Amino acid sequence: MSDDDNSPISAREARRLFAGLKAAPALVLAVSGGPDSVALMWLAARWQRSLARGPQLTVVTVDHGLRPEAAREAREVKRLANQLGLPHRTLHWRGAKPKTGLPAAAREARYRLLAEAARAAGASHVLTAHTRDDQAETLLMRLFRGSGLAGLSAMAPLSERDGIVLARPLLDVPKSQLIATLRRAKVGFVEDPTNRDTAFTRPRLRALLPLLAAEGGDARNLARLAARLARANAAVEVLADGAERFLRLRDRGGAPQADVRSFEASAFAALPEEVRLRLLLRAINALGHEGPAELGKVETLLSALDEAIAASLDARATGRPVLKQTLAGALISLAGGRIQIAPAPARRRGSG
Ligand SMILES: Nc1ncnc2c1ncn2[C@@H]1O[C@H](COP(=O)(O)OP(=O)(O)OP(=O)(O)O)[C@@H](O)[C@H]1O
């Protein structure tokens, strides 16, 4: 069964989608020329016209310099933006392009350029047109990659990057509704052929979605799962914050050092496994110089640490380290009943 909804988005519905953005001084709309982001631009323009004093809107298209048609597509977005009375800028990703990991590098460059454009326009937010279908695909991609709770929470409706808020007002809207909105408004759009290129993971997963939907795994259910996991993840983060404070309070005796995190092993051992894991992950990512650490590796380290703590508590702690391991450029050790995480010493030349 498909959860597509072919009704255009009403002005009232759009007001609800953009409600949290009304007080912003200015907004950047990230528009590639595809249906989702052209719909975002059209909906935002109509919303802004309906406000007495709404935010200034600037439309930005990034030309990654990867497809010859991109320049024409950017001109087409400019034409549409101007028809809607909105200023438009095209930004270029210049410089060398990597041979592997091209989509990730292009995304990184895109968000950097969009954040720069926001700063130049005095905008507090960059709006992208991610839909509920994108959210479902993201969840599946992360599931198949073996992500944990944080990764399976998929995309957040609001996040921050370089001092700019990244907003995804359409994250709960089906793509089919955006297409219906454009059809009703008689607005054209382009389809990026790389969206169907099965050399990339995301299009291959996209092709699986109808099969999953037929079994009840439609975008609505998958996106709802992501939202539920995000809620649980936020709660566990608060628990981890509290546990960090608790361990710090118990640690008043030791002189605090900026580049070392140290936990009393017996207090650490009494915390829930997920919280222990996050404390380790946070410390390794903060102090290691090769991070972020892989979740699976931190899980393995935690099992070794748990075993070592249990053994050392039995045998009464001596001053000698009972565990000493490096992970993601951090050195993790257990000695004298304390866990210490510090930056790993730089590897000697020629030894690695
Ligand atoms: N070339 C571009 N110029 C401006 N905005 C873009 C461009 N490409 C994508 N965007 C914005 O990002 C949104 C998501 O696009 P898309 O799904 O293609 O991204 P992606 O490569 O999957 O990466 P991610 O989903 O992490 O952003 C679009 O709806 C649009 O708002």
Compute φ and ψ for 225, nearest 5 degrees: -60, -45
Is residue 237 over pLDDT 60?
yes
Question: Which atom number of ligand 1 is nearest to the Cα of residue 30?
Answer: 5
- Assess whether 293 and 213 both reside in one domain: no
- Tell me which amino acid residue 120 is: A
Q: What is the mean pLDDT of the chain?
A: 92
CATH code at position 321:
3.30.465
- Assess whether 182 and 88 both reside in one domain: yes
The answer as to whether 234 is a domain residue is no
For ligand 1, is residue 67 a contact (CB within 6 Å)? no
Indicate the pTM of the whole model: 0.90
Alpha-carbon span 263 to 108, nearest angstrom: 35
Q: 316 falls in which pLDDT band (50, 70, 90)?
A: low
For ligand 1, is residue 32 a contact (CB within 6 Å)? yes
Number of domains observed in the structure of the chain: 2
Q: 318 falls in which pLDDT band (50, 70, 90)?
A: low
CATH code at position 117:
3.40.50.620
- Assess whether 200 and 264 both reside in one domain: no
For ligand 1, is residue 30 a contact (CB within 6 Å)? yes
Is residue 269 over pLDDT 80?
yes
- Mean pLDDT is lowest, of 149-163, 272-286, 318-332, for 318-332
Ligand 1 pocket mutation, candidates 60, 110, 139, criterion most atoms within 8 A of CB: 110
Is residue 250 over pLDDT 70?
yes
Which tens digit of pLDDT belongs to each residue from 134-189?
Answer: 999 999 999 999 999 999 999 999 999 989 999 999 999 999 999 999 999 999 88
- The alpha carbon of 105 and the centre of ligand 1 are apart by a number of angstroms equal to 13
Alpha-carbon span 309 to 316, nearest angstrom: 10
The answer as to whether 245 is a domain residue is no
Ligand 1 atom 26 nearest Cα: 107
Alpha-carbon span 124 to 129, nearest angstrom: 17
Alpha-carbon span 215 to 221, nearest angstrom: 11
- Assess whether 92 and 23 both reside in one domain: yes
Report the candidate in 155, 144, 154, 149 with the shortest Cα–Cα distance to residue 205: 144
For ligand 1, is residue 130 a contact (CB within 6 Å)? yes
Alpha-carbon span 227 to 31, nearest angstrom: 25
The answer as to whether 319 is a domain residue is yes
Percent of the chain with pLDDT over 70: 93
Mean pLDDT of 241-261: 84
E strands in the chain: 26-30, 56-63, 88-92, 125-127, 158-161, 164-167, 261-264, 321-327, 330-335, 338-343
For ligand 1, is residue 107 a contact (CB within 6 Å)? yes
The answer as to whether 308 is a domain residue is yes
Q: 196 falls in which pLDDT band (50, 70, 90)?
A: confident
The answer as to whether 241 is a domain residue is no
| Domain residue limits at 329 | 253-343
- The alpha carbon of 135 and the centre of ligand 1 are apart by a number of angstroms equal to 13
- Mean pLDDT is lowest, of 63-77, 124-138, 181-195, 218-232, for 181-195
Helix (H, G, I), strand (E, B) or coil at 51: coil
Is 33 annotated as contributing to ligand binding? yes
Q: Would you state the pLDDT for residue 214?
A: 95
- Assess whether 18 and 145 both reside in one domain: yes
- Mean pLDDT is lowest, of 52-61, 135-144, 151-160, 317-326, for 317-326
ipTM of the complex: 0.94
Ligand 1 pocket mutation, candidates 32, 112, 168, criterion most atoms within 8 A of CB: 32
Question: Which atom number of ligand 1 is nearest to the Cα of residue 138?
Answer: 25
Ligand 1 pocket mutation, candidates 38, 127, 130, criterion most atoms within 8 A of CB: 130
